[in-house]
Structures are given as structure tokens and as C-alpha cells.
Amino acid sequence: MGGSLRTTGPLACLALSVALASAACRQEPPAASAPQPVVAEPVAPVAAQELQVVAAPDPAAVPLPAWSPPPVELQPEQVRDALKRAGVALAEDRLYQAADDAIPLYLAVLAVQPQQREARRGLEKARTRLLASVRALLQQPEEQRKALAQAATQAAVLVYLAPEGRAELELQQRVQAARRLLALNRSGEEALRGGSPALAAGAFAQVLELEPGNSRARQGLAAVESDLIRQAEDAAAHADFNAALEWLQRASRIREDAPTVADARVRIEAMRMAQLAALRDGGLRDLTSPKGLKAAREKLEQALRIAAPGDAAVAVLRQRIDLVAHYGSFRPGQVFSDALQDGGRGPQMIVVPHGGFQMGAGYGEPGASDAERPQHYVRFDRGFAISITEVTVAEFGRFVAATNARPRATRRGHSIVYDERSGNFVRRNGADWQAGYNGAKAPPNNPVMHVSVRDAEAYAAWLSAQTGRHYRLPSEAEFEYALRAGTTGRYPWGDAGVPPEGSGNFTGSLDVSPSGRHWKNAFLGYGDGYWGAAPAASFRANAWGLHDMAGNLSEWVADCWHASYRRAPPDGAAWYNPGCRQRVVRGGNWANAPEQTRAAWRLSQDSDVTSARIGFRLVRGI
């Protein structure tokens, strides 16, 4: 068994009474400090940089309990009876706990008769059984605390019997190590129950350093990992995905490449995506409900807090909110026409983008006047829809027929037309909205001219009643904004002194009248093939899809005339004074001088004026 019964110490004193031998002659194992308990204190939530697995307090090596044989008073004449009782106790496996157990009786016999062979053989059998029992207890997986306590007591008995035995020393070390591992495992479990997973992980890690295959520590680490994953999922369920990632980061340090952490990442990302999809869908519903923009923006803020950069769901919701905020149910560049009550369709409209621009002319711009200054910034926080072309003869005629209207030129009986014979603009009787630039009947697809600003406003009011939408003349700022279409040059097409080919109906040196006339003040080298107004949309649209903003006909806008832009509205609203007579005309026309084709050019006209050079288009709110 690797050792022998001790022959020094207590056995040397057995001639004395057993009581005295037990009290005065037993060699005590060296004293050890009392083990310090591990206390698991609950910890408050900590920041990410603090989330490290920390070492658990290392419990001191638990000393083996000292054992002394229960006192047995034995006289020489009682030896035979004691041996008999010891044999019965040995057979019943009662070895060391009471005075009538085998080992105390055999020791008492040897104290009286040190060479008594039966007692020595019985004591050796008891020792062998104790060695086997301690080894079995060390392997017992259930009730480890109770098993190790029993093993410690039995090891103390063995150490008492054979303090120099190798088997006894080995078992003593194993029992001490097992009790230390048990203390660490228990401290880890208490820390985990107390809400300190970092301390728990440290304790279990120490166990595995000492015994890599320790199943209880492995289960403990798995429990720590599960607890951290649960914390991560709880955080994700409350939309705190930063905290969820921190918890997962902690969990990933418990066991390298653990599939459970990878699976949890997938689940939490799925939770994130589900929450983002719900916020996106809820925000989109809000945009079409009475809750409107405010509720949708609140959901967008929630989505931004949990989304990864560039998340598609957030991008969709943000884009739709921006569209609704700036365009209602429309989108920039959208073309539409509203249905009329009589079964027809209104003018084709296009949605221009919201934004801002510098309105007017700079102080250094050639040909500019003080009426076009000061240049000032105007911003449109919401887009608007504007007619793609000038209102046509056919469109205006539908209004006249439906309302029996008598526009200004019709009532007055004349308008201003171009006279081919003299080359001048003259008053001609009978010219009204049905006439073209020279007084002859105009084709239905030509822009309507010979209308006053009040005629244009009457058409807008009729169209609003027909469609249930609000139509009006554009403000001066809206007109210039749409005319420039994002450009900043002197002309609508930039700073070049000649218009790009096909860009519009302007006064070009290559234009020829029916009688062979040429313009005296024109864009050199430019010709558009028309003397007079051209059919709507005959030329290329600008960058925002609008035709003839800078040419064909000049156009009425909603503003009253002001001699400069001082105190002009910064939001692009019409600058209107009730009862004003002088109104504003914007945009070049087929008979304008080049300087009057500049993007900032503006003209004052009496509200009753009708002419072959002035038409209009409309704006509709969205």
C-alpha cells in the first residue's frame, strides 16, 4: 500500500493509558490558516472597457482535519474481548468513529500489547479499506462537498496511522486539491448566482488551470456564457444593441470560438433586423395616417439608435420621410396631371426639388438693373409642382367654354400683336386669347397669349375647382428657381453668350420673318426656326424637365412689382400687396433682346396688359 503503520509517536506511548496516549503523545498535523470564504457581491452594470473576466479570489488550501482515536480504557485481561469486538466492527465496516469501532479498539490493544499480531493484522485491513474508501470518495461526482468532507476525515485517520506512507501523502494531497477545486467551483457558482459573471468565470478558469477536464468547472463556464448571452438577448429585446454587443463580447471571452456565441450573434442580429423592419413599416404607415411626420420621425430616431451604418431599412424610412416632408405623396421629377370634373385632364405638371438658390443679379453682372438686386438667398423647404409647358390655347379654351368667361382682350376687343409689314408691335382689333403672335388664329397646341394676369388667375381658380387642388401663378422666386434649374450663370444655360442649339425660342440672328426680316439685336449665330411663338414643348427641356422657361413667351407671376429685392420674402413666397396694379413678368420670349433673356431679368407690367409676348404657366401645391 506504499506505507506501514506508524511505530513512533502514539504507538510508542501505548503503554500508558489510551486516554493519556491520545491526549499527550499524538503527533498533530501542522496547523494551517483557516480558509477564507469567497463572497460573491452583486455588481452594477459596467462600461464596455470594464467588461473583463477577472480572477476569482484564490481560496486557501483547506487543511485536513486532525483525528484522534476515541478514548478506550483497556486492561490486559480485556484484550481478548477487545479483539473480538474489533473483529465484529471490522466485519461491519465500523472503522474509526466510535470507541467501539475497529481502529480505536486495535490501537487500544496495541497500547497494552504492542506486538499483538491479530491487532496489527486487523489495523492493516482497516487501513487498506480506508485507502480504498478515500479513493472512491474522490471519484464520487454527486454530493461532492459531503464526499470530500468524509474523505478528509478518513485521510486524517490514515495520516494518523501512517504519517510517512506514500499512499497516504498522495491521498492527502489529492483530498486537499479536490477540496480547493470544490471551493473554487462553489465560489464561482455563488458569484454567478449573485450576478457577478466575471468573478464566476475567473473561479472556473482557475479550476480548469488546475484540472483541465473538470466537468463542474466546464459546466460553470457554460453557465456563465449562457448568462451573458441571456443578458445580451435581454438588452436586444429592449432595443439596446450596443449593450447586447458588449454582453456578447464578454461571452466570447469565456470559451474560444464557442458556437453558442456565434449562434447568439445571429439571433440578436435577427432581432435587430426585425425591430428595424417594424420601425420602418410603422413609420411608413404613420406617413399615410393622421399621425404623420412627427410619429414617423420618432420611429426613425429609434431606428437610427439601433441600426448599423448604412442599414437599408433606415435608408428607406429616412428617404420616405424626406420625400413626405418635402413633397407630400410625390417625388422629385414626378410628372402628373389632375383629372377634371368634365372628364378631361389638367396641364401636365412636374415636381421640382426643394432647395435654395441665389435669386437676382450680382452687382457685376452685365446688363443687370437695380430692380434685380440685391442678390439674395431663397430657400424652399418644400418642393412644388409646376406646369411642364406654358398653358396652351386648347387648355385655356376649355376654361372659357366651361365658364363662359370673357377674358380681358375679348371684352376690350383688341390686343398687342406683331405687325409683319412695319416690323413693330401694334394694337389690333379682334385679337384675343384665340390669336397667335400676329393676330391670326393660333393652333391649339400653341401657348396661349393675349391674356392678362387676372385672366391667368381666373384660369387657375377654375382649375382648382375642377380638380380639388390648389393651382396658382408661380411666385417670382419659384419661377426663377425653376428657370435656373440648379444653374448659377448669367443666362439660364450658363454664361455662354450664345444659347445651346435647340435650347429655346429666342431672338437669334439666323431667324427670318415671313417677309425676310432679321432681328437687329439678337444672339449672333443662333437660329431656332421660328418667328413668333412656337408650339409648346418644341425645344429641349431644362435640367428639371421644364420647357420654354427662358423663351417662347414671357410669363406672368403672382408678385406685385417692387423696384428692388430689399425686404423680399426669403422663403420664396409671392411678394403681393392687395390691390396692386403693376405686376411682374419673368422669362425671355421670342422677341426679347439678349439682355432680357438673362435668368435674373424681370419686367413691370400693368395687370390689364395683353400681348403676343406674354403667356403663363401654373404652380400646384403638393
Structural domain spans, the chain? 9-26+64-178, 215-327, 349-403+447-620
The helix (H) or strand (E) run that includes residue 386 is strand 384-387
Mean per-residue pLDDT, 503-507 = 97
pTM comes to 0.63
CA 343 to centroid of chain Cα atoms: 48
Which has more confidence, 348 or 22?
A: 348
What percent of the chain shows pLDDT beyond 90? 75
- 369 contacts 384 by C-beta, under 8 angstroms: no
pLDDT reported for residue 162: 86
pLDDT at position 258: 83
C-alpha 200/C-alpha 220 separation (Å) is: 8
Give the whole-angstrom CA distance, residue 92 versus residue 328. 95
Q: Phi/psi of residue 271, each to 5°?
A: -65, -40
- Mean local confidence (pLDDT), 138-161: 89
Q: What is the pLDDT of residues 315-346, one digit of tens each?
A: 999 988 888 888 888 999 999 999 999 899 99
**Does the pLDDT at position 224 exceed 80?**
yes
Q: State residue 302's pLDDT score.
A: 92
Residues 6+ away with beta carbon under 8 Å from 547: 388, 389, 536, 537, 538, 539, 540, 541
Question: Per-residue pLDDT averaged across 598-602, rounded?
Answer: 98
| C-alpha to C-alpha distance for 489 and 483, rounded to whole angstroms | 11
Q: 621 vs 457, which has greater pLDDT?
A: 457
pLDDT band at 288 (very low <50, low <70, confident <90, very high): confident
Residue 223: helix, strand or coil by DSSP?
A: helix
CA distance from start to end of the chain: 100
* Average pLDDT value for residue range 10-37: 32
Residues 6+ apart with CB under 8 A from 262: none
Q: To the nearest whole number, what is the mean pLDDT of the chain?
A: 88
In the predicted model, what is the mean pLDDT of residues 453-469? 97
Q: Is the pLDDT of residue 235 over 50?
A: yes
Bigger pLDDT: 39 or 527? 527
Grid coordinates in use for 443?
A: 393652333
**DSSP code of residue 499:** P
pLDDT at 13: 33
What are the two backbone dihedrals, phi and then psi, of residue 288, each rounded to the nearest 5 degrees? -105, 15
**Mean predicted confidence (pLDDT) in 18-27:** 31
Lowest mean pLDDT among 17-21, 429-433, 463-467: 17-21
Q: How far is CA 496 from the centre of its chain?
A: 47
Provide mean pLDDT across the span 41-62.
Answer: 42
- Cβ–Cβ < 8 Å for 30, 155: no
Work out the average pLDDT over 544-571: 97
User: Is the separation of the CB atoms in 507 and 519 below 8 Å?
Assistant: yes
Instruction: With a cut of 80, say whether residue 10 has pLDDT above it.
Output: no
Domain covering 349-403+447-620 in this structure, CATH number: 3.90.1580.10
